[in-house]
Amino acid sequence: MTMTSQDPSRERRRRGCIERERLLLVRYVETAYESLRLMPGVDTLGRTLVLFAGRLLLAHERATRGDAD
């Protein structure tokens, strides 16, 4: 028997959590793209976009945990 058939509310919470994380990641990739687009000579679809979006996500995680660093 699968977990879904045992506890449908747990499966809904798991899917909701995945969707919230996906939307958060999309928002940071969008923010990174828009920021880099304004910088002349920067490849907005390359490695810089991924690195910048990752840094924004790390900053968000630190801010939500309340780290002072």
The residue ranges of every structural domain in the chain are: 3-65
pLDDT tens readout for residues 10-20: 999 999 999 99
Phi, psi of 66 (to 5 degrees): 90, 20
What does the block give as tokens for 18? Answer: 């995945």
Mean predicted confidence (pLDDT) in 6-11: 86
pTM of the model: 0.67
Binned at pLDDT 50, 70 and 90, residue 69 comes out as: low
pLDDT greater at residue 58 or residue 69: 58
Other beta carbons less than 10 A from residue 61's beta carbon: 11
